């Protein structure tokens, strides 16, 4: 079976491989980082032999039985703080209660299994670590068993392991008791992993390990870093995107009690004070002269006009089969749609922040980041020191959604610049407004789509042009692009399963450059491509006079995983059956990041506005390692998708971002949240992701439901701008 995922994933990995070369230089673990002793069995303790057992970089067992698990990925809400330990525990047979978890240092030992850098993104964590983390646990168990057998004076073959003990007959020793002995053994090369039928945790799930500290205020996010002597920095940024400071007058700011210093850095002017409030007050009275640069002429209205023109012509070829123009000429009916997708800000709950201490030739950083080694490299470059001398402490991330994975390490770099310019130990804190206006948005896109139907109502020609900034197309050393097509601009269109059955089609891409920096945003290109495809298919089905689900079933007949999700969602939602008076349903199905998700959205129109009552979701992600975690990601992704569809939009005028805070960048709240009903397709197919695949179908399913309710096809997002009273 052809899986489109493999194609886009390969593209993604290929570009990652390019960026990786030359980026990560192996180095020895900085002394004092302790964890993650990359050399097997080694645990240096001041020349007195090992004091703990670290069979690999991911696992350390202490004599007191503590199982220290080091994550090669970061916890930003998606649950890897629990899922990765589950994989180790499955093979290690430890007591779940003994596990403690930490983020990794920026050591290449923690590079992604299929990308040459440390990165949390692309919904890859669980499937990419499925073997590595299980092997880490299994290796340790074999070594502990050997050490235990030796200690008990019994043959290894007589031993089994359970709940943190090596057991032989009525004898037992705890893992902690034999940890030091095990550390002296040579790790086995290859250990067998347990079969699915023997799993205790995988597929069943456990409670999240990070919940206790997230319900009592003890969880430490980047924002919560505090040390004696640390000051807080608040930065004045140019009101115009890309503008730079020329000069400043800090006389008033310096009179604010608590303000210590004001320094100019490349991206603005930083006010450094004893606490946030003083720094913020200082910034309020700071006078800065800016040079606007070319950003001053940028506006959203003009951008839309330019992109519409662009999308009216064929762009660089992203997919092509047959002769679409000729086929369109033969069509019995033509359906057209011109879609607009605005810039979107991630707006995670924790505004960007970063703490930096520079001492002599070394630097220590505390922040929430999806790419700690990239930040390390960028910090080293700014300071002119070697990467080995930059320590990065990754804190809990108060949401990220792609925003904390900037190739330039924007907020980390800014904090390092401030520390460098001021020679102070600082925590940079962005206000919500700083965060909202800083760019790194989901790119603005226009899709122009024309679909020709044959006499049977099925599509015979699909002509699709897309215009939008490339994320990977940067004149930067990171994330370069091979060829003309940034896969993230077209994923979900050029590899759409629908095009398989359209004999003549063309997908083109225009990738203009703008002053506004863009970035991946939860589900990346699928945020717009799924909408364009699923709304078009709905429109085409309507034009053909067919039920939207029946129509999709015909087109997807060779795509069993799409069908499985589609059918389960339709069944659980009771498609077309027993709906309350005035309620209407819409459906969408989409594959992203290796998982297949279908959703049915139920709406009614109240006071002239759409109200979402229920979203029924079905996902085929292959094996669901932590099923409740998958459900939780679906719930969150649907709320994310509803916010995006209904409200999200970042507009600029004269280079200035017109949005500030949650009052003019609305997000869904409790009272608007529908009932969400999630079902997992029982599946033994290849594993996919969970954090992002849930987002793409929500917006089109909602728009299709609104069409069912009102006859109004929504081509431009956000939806609510069509319903303003």
Interface ranges with another protein (CB under 8 A): 75-79, 207-208, 210-221, 223-224, 226, 232, 257, 274-277, 347-351, 396-401, 429, 431-433, 628, 632, 635-640, 660-664, 666-673, 675-676
CA nearest neighbour of 364 among 415, 431, 429, 408? 415
* 439 and 241 Cβ atoms separated by less than 8 Å: yes
Q: Select 636 or 693, whichever has its Cβ closest to another protein.
A: 636
Minimum separation from the CB atom of position 421 to another protein (A): 22
Q: Select 146 or 434, whichever has its Cβ closest to another protein.
A: 434
Q: Select 301 or 349, whichever has its Cβ closest to another protein.
A: 349
Tell me the C-alpha distance between 698 and 192, whole Å.
41
Helices (H), 503-596: 526-543, 548-555, 560-573
* 296 and 491 Cβ atoms separated by less than 8 Å: no
Beta strands (DSSP E) in 39-113 are 53-56, 59-61, 67-71, 99-103
Q: Select 459 or 691, whichever has its Cβ closest to another protein.
A: 691
Minimum separation from the CB atom of position 397 to another protein (A): 6
Tell me the C-alpha distance between 591 and 530, whole Å.
9
Q: Select 584 or 640, whichever has its Cβ closest to another protein.
A: 640
Minimum separation from the CB atom of position 608 to another protein (A): 13
CA dist 494 to 259, 314, 525, 546, Å? 54, 14, 11, 25
Q: Which residues contact 222 (CB under 8 A, 6 or more apart)?
A: 350, 353, 354, 355, 366, 367, 368, 395, 396, 397, 398
Minimum separation from the CB atom of position 469 to another protein (A): 24
Minimum separation from the CB atom of position 399 to another protein (A): 5
CA dist 566 to 46, 154, 550, 681, 701, Å? 60, 56, 10, 10, 12
* 343 and 446 Cβ atoms separated by less than 8 Å: no
CA nearest neighbour of 372 among 714, 157, 102? 102
Tell me the C-alpha distance between 669 and 663, whole Å.
12
Minimum separation from the CB atom of position 701 to another protein (A): 16
Q: Select 226 or 289, whichever has its Cβ closest to another protein.
A: 226
Q: Select 471 or 676, whichever has its Cβ closest to another protein.
A: 676
Minimum separation from the CB atom of position 588 to another protein (A): 18
Q: Select 119 or 676, whichever has its Cβ closest to another protein.
A: 676
Tell me the C-alpha distance between 611 and 131, whole Å.
44
β-strand pairing of 459-468 with 160-162: unpaired
Q: Select 108 or 399, whichever has its Cβ closest to another protein.
A: 399
SS3 content of the chain, % helix, strand, coil (to 5): 35, 25, 40
Tell me the C-alpha distance between 636 and 692, whole Å.
10
Minimum separation from the CB atom of position 630 to another protein (A): 12
Minimum separation from the CB atom of position 669 to another protein (A): 4
Minimum separation from the CB atom of position 661 to another protein (A): 5
């Amino acid at each position: 079976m052809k899986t489109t995922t493999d194609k886009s994933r390969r593209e993604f990995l290929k570009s990652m491989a390019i960026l990786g070369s030359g980026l990560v230089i192996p180095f020895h673990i900085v002394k004092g980082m302790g964890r993650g002793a990359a050399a097997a069995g080694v645990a240096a303790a001041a020349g007195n032999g090992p004091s703990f057992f670290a069979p690999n970089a991911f696992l350390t067992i202490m004599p007191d039985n503590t199982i220290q698990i080091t994550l090669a990925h970061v916890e930003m809400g998606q649950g890897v703080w629990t899922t990765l330990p589950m994989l180790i525990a499955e093979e290690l047979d430890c007591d779940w209660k003994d596990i403690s978890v930490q983020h990794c240092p920026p050591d290449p030992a923690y590079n992604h299994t299929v990308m040459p850098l440390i990165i949390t993104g692309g919904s890859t964590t669980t499937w990419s670590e499925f073997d590595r983390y299980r092997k880490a646990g299994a290796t340790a168990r074999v070594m502990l068993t050997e050490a235990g057998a030796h200690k008990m004076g019994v043959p290894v073959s007589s031993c089994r392991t359970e709940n943190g003990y090596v057991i032989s007959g009525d004898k037992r020793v705890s893992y902690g008791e034999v940890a030091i002995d095990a550390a002296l053994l040579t790790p086995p090369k290859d250990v067998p992993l347990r079969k699915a039928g023997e799993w205790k945790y995988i597929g069943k799930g456990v409670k999240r390990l990070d919940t206790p500290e997230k319900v009592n205020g003890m969880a430490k996010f980047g924002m919560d870093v505090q040390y004696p002597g640390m000051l807080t920095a608040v930065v004045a940024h140019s009101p115009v995107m890309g503008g730079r400071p020329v000069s400043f007058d800090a006389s008033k700011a310096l009179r604010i009690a608590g303000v210590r210093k004001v320094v100019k850095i490349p991206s603005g002017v930083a006010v450094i004070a004893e606490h946030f409030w003083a720094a913020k007050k200082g910034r309020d009275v700071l006078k800065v002269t800016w040079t606007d640069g070319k950003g001053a002429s940028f506006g959203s209205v003009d951008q839309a006009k330019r992109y519409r023109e662009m999308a009216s012509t064929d762009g660089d070829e992203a997919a092509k089969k047959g002769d679409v123009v000729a086929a369109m000429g033969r069509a019995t009916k033509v359906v057209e749609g011109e879609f607009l997708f605005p810039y979107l800000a991630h707006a995670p709950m924790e505004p960007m922040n970063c703490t930096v201490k520079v001492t002599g030739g070394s630097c220590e950083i505390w922040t929430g980041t999806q790419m700690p080694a990239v930040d390390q490299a960028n910090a080293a470059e700014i300071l002119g020191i070697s990467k080995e001398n930059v320590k990065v402490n990754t804190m809990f991330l108060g949401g990220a959604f792609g925003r904390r994975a900037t190739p330039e390490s924007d907020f980390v770099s800014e904090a390092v610049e401030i520390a460098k310019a001021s020679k102070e130990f600082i925590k940079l804190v962005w206000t919500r407004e700083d965060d909202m206006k800083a760019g790194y948005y989901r790119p603005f896109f226009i899709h122009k789509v024309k679909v020709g139907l044959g006499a049977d109502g099925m599509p015979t020609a699909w002509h699709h042009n897309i215009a939008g900034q490339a994320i990977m197309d940067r004149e930067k050393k990171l994330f370069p692009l091979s060829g003309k097509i940034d896969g993230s601009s077209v994923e979900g269109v050029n590899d759409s399963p629908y095009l398989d059955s359209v004999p003549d089609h063309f997908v083109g891409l225009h990738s203009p450059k703008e002053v506004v920096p863009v970035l991946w945003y939860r589900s990346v290109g699928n945020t717009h491509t799924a909408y364009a495809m699923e709304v078009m298919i709905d429109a085409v089905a309507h034009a053909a006079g067919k039920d939207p689900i029946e129509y999709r079933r015909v087109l997807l007949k060779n795509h069993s995983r799409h069908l499985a999700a589609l059918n389960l969602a339709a069944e659980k939602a009771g498609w077309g059956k027993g709906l309350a008076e005035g309620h209407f349903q819409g459906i969408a199905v989409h594959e992203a990041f290796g998982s297949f998700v279908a959703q049915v959205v139920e709406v009614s129109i109240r006071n002239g506005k759409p109200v979402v009552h229920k979203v029924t979701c079905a996902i085929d992600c292959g094996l669901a390692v932590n099923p409740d975690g998958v459900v939780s990601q679906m719930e969150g992704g649907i709320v994310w998708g509803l916010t995006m569809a209904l409200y999200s939009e970042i507009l600029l005028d004269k280079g200035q971002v017109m949005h500030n805070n949650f009052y003019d960048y609305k997000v869904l709240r409790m009272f608007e949240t529908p009932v969400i009903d999630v079902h997992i397709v029982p599946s033994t197919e290849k594993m996919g992701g969970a954090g992002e695949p849930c987002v793409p179908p929500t917006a089109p399913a909602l728009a299709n439901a609104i069409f069912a309710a009102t006859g109004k096809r929504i081509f431009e997002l956000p939806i609510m701008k069509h319903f303003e009273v």
